[in-house]
Structure 1
Amino acid sequence: MTQPFGYFVHHQGRGHAERCAAIANALPVTRPLTIFCARDDIFPALPAHVDIVRIPSLFEPVGDEAGTMDDIATPATLHCAPLGWPGIRHAMATIAGWFDTANPALMICDVSAEIAQLARICSVPHVKIVQHGDRGDQGHRAAYDGAAGLLAAFHAGLAQPEWDAAMLAKTCFAGGLGVDTRVPERELARQRIGVGADEEMILVLSGGGGDGFGQAPLGVGARARPDARWISIGPVQRDWHATEPSNIEHRGWIDNPADYVAAADLVIASTGNTTCQQILAAARPWLAIPEWRYFDEQHRKAGALAAAGVACVRPHLPSSADAWKAALAETIATHRPDAQRAMIDDTPADDVAAWLEGLAAKLWTSAPTIISSPDLTGA
């Protein structure tokens, strides 16, 4: 029987589950896949040869788990490893038990430094998902250095400058992985969302990984460009002091974000991975505003986008009418649609599946290395 792949999926946001589903659907039907995740309701359609095993969250305490041993320092090689949490023990035992019985060819980790290191300790080769951010700490380095391969769900042109040759050599880059990057026709998209053909539309897009932008600065922006129609989708933080003009409306969660991106003349959005791929594929002028994330993930991604010339970046939403006017003008003046489209690969999921299959074949068909047992007798 073909050795299975394992796949740990972080349950925050949507990008982790979406790229897992894309890979699952691109893998050969002869390759069994077992997914470990704290939720089983966040995945797009999965093929029949895929199983989902629910495990407790590694990041959220249950019952009396929290705070009992917080005085014990966390070693630098770990990120989230609190003591005394039965949920973590159960999750790790479930995965380790599967390692023992399934004899997997690979374990894909998206994302947890602890799960990656568990695979290595259990003698299972792992593929670590690489994300942007300041991740030179010992925990990330242990996960990266011990990996058989690294997978980046973005174009190689967005690599961070400090990633060295050794790291890049074992990284598979896949721009657009896990995102439907088909772009609707602009006029049809406008008809579907109720925007006139001649209206200037500014889209404010907030993804599922955070709380959205503040209402007050968006109101300042709408007042600074009163002839444009401003529409926000996703969450918006309500501000009691916000005074919004009539040219902005908040539509909340919608089922067709691609229509809104395709219809927009300009997009204001954070730099979450799904959001990035959608905007780059649609090649729209983009004012990128990074949100707070661990390890400054979105800020470092914003820096990579700016360096590649595919987005205009501000550290936060402009705070005055003049600042809004300057930011919007720069976004339009520096727009490079061809450079944006070049960030999206034609068949990223198929490319990744082929790379994973090739990596597994290389690992498991190589001549084994014989290591002498250590002398434990003391003689």
Structure 2
Amino acid sequence: MTQRIGWYVHHHGRGHLTRMLVIARHLGREIDCFSSLPRPDDLPPGISWTVLPRDDHPAPSLPQDDPTVGGILHWAPLRHEGHRSRFAAMAAAVATGRIGAFVVDVSVEVTLFLRLLGIPVIAITQPGERVDEAHRLGYAMASRIVAPWSHELYAPAHLTALGDRVAFVGGISRFADRVPDPRRRTDAIVLLGGGGGTAVSADDVAAAERATGRPWTLLGAGAGQWRADPFAAISTADVVVSWCGQNAVADLAAADARAIVIPQDRPFDEQAATAAALGGSGLAVALERWPDANRWPELLDRARALQPDWDAWRVRGAAQRAAREIEAVIAP
């Protein structure tokens, strides 16, 4: 029996799902996905989907029921039916013996639980200061850790200390195989938002439009019209203004975009760390927060002057490299 791959897909935003779908193209195995997200309408053949109950609604009702267990974990509420049921569903799948390894993107608790069941885990990590006790426990439990960015541009000490268990595979983009055409560049300004939420308001964007004297194309949840395939828009734009999620940055790299990146508030300063790496390497104009409206003309001029070498983010072949890391664990 060819062993299948289990895959835990975190429900926050769209990036974890997108990353799974991109890597799955390069795996010669069927995949059993587990997530609190609804089953995607366009799920490819060979990928099953189990919808897990949420474990954060309702929140723990008793103040003494610390879901972090004193900081050892991130979230493990006591007496919560949803929490019990989601782990029971994954345990039942493992008990069949058909799953040879599990990709976890992302959860310390799921990583720990699956390892205790005797299943090797490939943990997909994210940028930021992940040096707390829970993350250290999760990293210790993983057979392999996949970091989807370039080691040359961002190598946090807590990951490099783990040696060859960490694979910096490069940015994973669904557009990695496309080639942008610089001759098609327009004078458009595109705001590329993500699905994870933002503090930037419609009034903020309207003020930026007025300051620059031309309309912006707004793409992404929380930023305007969601577009399933934004590649044409971001690869032909004069400048792309973007948040700093891992998928968004990888897409900017694939599109060879001239970009202004603005980190949104995320746990462990994930997007702030990514923005610092991009700004320090000259790949993008990196800000700390949404700027005052009167700064936008100067910021756009700075972005237009960039000549970013996006090859440094190692998007080409990243999904294939991630797939090889998974295969190495399931079939050593």
Normalising by structure 1, report the TM-score. Answer: 0.79
Alpha-carbon offset, residue 105 of structure 1: 2.2
Q: What residue is the counterpart of 1:336 in the other structure?
A: 307
C-alpha distance in structure 1 between counterparts of 2:222 and 2:123, whole Å: 33
Alpha-carbon offset, residue 114 of structure 1: 0.4
2:45 to 40, 44, 47: 47
C-alpha distance in structure 1 between counterparts of 2:199 and 2:258, whole Å: 20
C-alpha distance in structure 1 between counterparts of 2:173 and 2:260, whole Å: 23
Q: Give the CA RMSD over aligned residues.
A: 2.3
8 Å CA contact 2:126–2:147 kept in 1: the answer is yes
The structure with the largest alpha-carbon Rg is 1
Q: Which runs of 5+ in 1 are unaligned?
A: 191-196, 238-250, 363-379
1:203 aligns with 2:190: yes
Q: What residue is the counterpart of 1:354 in the other structure?
A: 324
8 Å CA contact 1:15–1:178 kept in 2: the answer is no
2:217 to 219, 231, 244: 231
Q: What residue is the counterpart of 1:140 in the other structure?
A: 135
Alpha-carbon offset, residue 6 of structure 1: 1.1
Q: Deviations over 1:11-42 (max 9, x none)?
A: 222211112122222111xx332111123433
Secondary structure (helix, strand or coil) at the match of 2:25 reads: helix
Q: What residue is the counterpart of 1:33 in the other structure?
A: 31
Secondary structure (helix, strand or coil) at the match of 1:156 reads: coil
8 Å CA contact 2:180–2:256 kept in 1: the answer is no
Alpha-carbon offset, residue 168 of structure 1: 4.7
Q: Deviations over 1:185-234 (max 9, x none)?
A: 4666x7xxxxxx5xx221111122214732333333333322x4422223
Q: What residue is the counterpart of 2:274 in the other structure?
A: 301
8 Å CA contact 2:144–2:325 kept in 1: the answer is no
8 Å CA contact 1:270–1:289 kept in 2: the answer is yes
Q: Which runs of 5+ in 2 are unaligned?
A: none
1:326 to 284, 298, 302: 298
Relative to structure 1, is the Cα distance of residues 236 and 52 closer, same or farther in structure 2, using a 3 angstrom cutoff?
Answer: closer
1:69 aligns with 2:39: no
What is the count of residue pairs matched by the alignment? 329
| Identity of matched residues, % | 29
Q: Deviations over 1:83-124 (max 9, x none)?
A: 121011011111122222226321110011100010122222
8 Å CA contact 1:21–1:43 kept in 2: the answer is no
Secondary structure (helix, strand or coil) at the match of 2:83 reads: helix
C-alpha distance in structure 1 between counterparts of 2:220 and 2:4, whole Å: 37
C-alpha distance in structure 1 between counterparts of 2:2 and 2:13, whole Å: 32
8 Å CA contact 2:39–2:50 kept in 1: the answer is no
Normalising by structure 2, report the TM-score. Answer: 0.90
Within 5 Å, which residues of 2 pair with 1:360-379? 360-362=330-332
Q: Which has the higher contact order (CA 8 A, sep 6+)?
A: 2
1:345 aligns with 2:331: no
Relative to structure 1, is the Cα distance of residues 336 and 168 closer, same or farther in structure 2, using a 3 angstrom cutoff?
Answer: farther
8 Å CA contact 1:15–1:273 kept in 2: the answer is yes
